[in-house]
């Protein structure tokens, strides 16, 4: 074979090799592009949930408020808080496209991951993970908590320290600059002494513990608001300001469906920016009825409900500070099926009407009896006069006859 033929064959093989490399690269690019498009399509239609995370460390004994907000919450979607795969029991208010949860007096049992899940048509759209860590002590100089005043409400005031102390004491200052009252106290080697007017609840400390002292209040009365201080043998360890809330319905003993109702929500005092909100409850969703920012001279929020608005029986007064839900105070309007529980003013009007009718009947009866008596008396009087006239006339005739007889007799005798 000639040299020219050999070079030609080599060139052909080299051309084929170069072409095959380019084809391979081209095919590789096509395959990669196809796979990328498929991944995008699968990811889009699978709708993997958007995951957001947050972490927070709080002091033991405080109240924690968590909020999960979405841009839109349809009627068919649900938004709820879960902890370790189980729905929490003390959530849950849905209001303004947000789900709220309040954890009262947190301790180590409240630590963990809290999941806020937005569900639409059975699919998880959004997951927000909030990791909560609770410190081992309750050293705090400015703890503010809110509690409803009711028969089943309670509050635990906790002093927990890493350091050991020889003595503990809880005090109460009902109002600023008022007299400070000792509630309970304990010293090492001695029993707990109850000193104040507020009776300790069943969760209160009953023995000395160098690192823990608890004062439990149950139930919480409205006038239990004030400043509570935990004091050790070295000074003030923690300070808690308790604000109380109460809700009232008027009339209180049940209403008719056609009757108007007045709802009142009152907070004991205002020390920061507080907003009271009346919510009409539809399940666990709150529908705004009225809201107002409280001031130093304004502690109440009142709602007047006309008769057609009393069908929703479940209401809640929500307390917010800077978009944080601090407390919920529920109230239920009780319906009356009869008029026995009608308002007192209506009953008074009915009583007055009945009394007027009775008096009118009595007076009319007396007048009729009096007229009848007069009529009978007149008839009897007339009948008596006629009889007397007849008797008198007859007697006169008899006397005349006697005289004549006598005269006739006298004349004859003569």
Residue 286 lies in a domain: yes
Overall pTM > 0.75: no
* Domain end residue (candidates: 199, 217, 243): 243
Residue 93 lies in a domain: yes
Residue 287 lies in a domain: yes
Residue with tokens 């209401």: 315
CA distances from 68 to 92, 255, 275 (A): 11, 37, 19
Q: Are residues 228 and 256 in the same domain?
A: no
> Which residue range forms the structural domain that includes residue 125?
50-134
Q: Are residues 128 and 55 in the same domain?
A: yes
* Domain end residue (candidates: 85, 105, 134): 134
The residues of the chain scoring below 70 in pLDDT are 1-50, 85, 89-91, 307-311, 337-363, 366-367, 373, 376-414
Residue 407 lies in a domain: no
CB 285 within 8 A of CB 91: no
* Domain end residue (candidates: 90, 113, 134): 134
Residue 252 is predicted with a pLDDT of 80
Strand, helix or coil at 381? helix
Residue 399 is predicted with a pLDDT of 35
Residue 402 is predicted with a pLDDT of 34
At 205, give phi and psi (nearest 5°). -65, 135
The contacts of residue 224 (CB under 8 Å, 6+ apart) are 149, 198, 217, 242, 244
Q: Closest Cα partner for 115 from 90, 79, 89? A: 79
Please state, in angstroms and rounded to a whole number, the distance separating the CA atoms of residues 404 and 208: 137
Residue 115 lies in a domain: yes
CB 216 within 8 A of CB 201: yes
Say how many C-beta atoms besides its own lie within 10 A of residue 170's C-beta. Answer: 27
Q: Are residues 228 and 276 in the same domain?
A: no
Q: Are residues 126 and 155 in the same domain?
A: no
Q: Closest Cα partner for 312 from 336, 329, 333? A: 333
Cα-based angle 304, 306, 312 (whole degrees, multiple of 5): 90
Q: Are residues 214 and 280 in the same domain?
A: no
Residue 33 is predicted with a pLDDT of 56
Q: Are residues 260 and 327 in the same domain?
A: yes
Q: Are residues 168 and 185 in the same domain?
A: yes
The contacts of residue 288 (CB under 8 Å, 6+ apart) are 95, 96, 277, 278, 279, 280
> How many folded domains does the chain comprise?
3
Residue 178 lies in a domain: yes
Residue 412 lies in a domain: no
CATH number at residue 71: 2.60.40.10
Residue 207 is predicted with a pLDDT of 95
């Amino acid at each position: 074979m000639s040299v020219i033929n050999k070079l030609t064959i080599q060139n052909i093989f080299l051309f084929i090799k170069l072409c095959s490399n380019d084809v391979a690269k081209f095919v590789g690019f096509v395959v990669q592009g196809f796979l990328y498009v498929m991944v995008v399509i699968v990811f889009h239609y699978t709708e993997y949930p958007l995951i957001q995370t947050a972490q927070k460390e709080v002091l033991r004994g405080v109240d924690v408020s968590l909020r999960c907000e979405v841009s839109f919450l349809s009627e068919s979607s649900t938004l709820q808080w879960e902890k370790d795969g189980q729905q929490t029991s003390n959530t849950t208010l849905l209001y303004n496209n947000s789900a709220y949860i309040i954890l009262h007096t947190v301790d180590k049992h409240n630590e963990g991951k809290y999941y806020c899940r937005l569900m639409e048509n059975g699919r998880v759209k959004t997951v927000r993970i909030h990791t909560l860590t609770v410190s081992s002590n309750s050293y705090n100089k400015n703890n503010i908590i809110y509690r409803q005043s009711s028969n089943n409400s309670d509050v635990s005031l906790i002093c927990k320290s890493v350091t050991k102390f020889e003595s503990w004491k809880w005090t109460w200052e009902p109002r600023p600059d008022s007299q400070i009252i000792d509630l309970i106290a304990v010293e090492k080697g001695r029993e707990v002494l109850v000193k104040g007017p507020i009776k300790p609840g069943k969760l209160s400390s009953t023995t000395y513990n160098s690192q823990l002292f608890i004062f439990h209040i149950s139930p919480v009365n409205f006038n239990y608001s004030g400043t509570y201080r935990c004091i050790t043998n070295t000074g003030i360890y923690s300070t808690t300001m308790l604000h109380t809330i109460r809700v009232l319905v008027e009339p209180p003993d049940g209403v008719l469906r056609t009757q108007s109702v007045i709802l009142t929500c009152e907070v004991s005092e205002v020390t920061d920016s507080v907003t009271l909100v009346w919510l009409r409850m539809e399940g666990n969703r709150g529908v705004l009825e009225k809201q107002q920012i409280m001031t130093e001279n304004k502690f109440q929020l009142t709602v007047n409900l006309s008769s057609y608005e009393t069908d929703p029986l479940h209401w809640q007064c929500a307390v917010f500070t800077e978009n944080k839900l601090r407390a919920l105070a529920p109230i239920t309007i009780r319906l009356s099926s009869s008029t026995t529980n009608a308002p007192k003013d209506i009953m008074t009007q009915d009583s007055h009407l009945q009394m007027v009718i009775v008096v009118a009947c009595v007076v009319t009866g007396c007048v009729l009896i009096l007229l009848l008596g007069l009529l009978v008396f007149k008839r009897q009087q007339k009948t008596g006069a006629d009889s007397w006239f007849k008797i008198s006339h007859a007697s006169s005739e008899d006397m005349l006859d006697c005289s004549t007889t006598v005269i006739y007799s006298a004349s004859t005798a003569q």
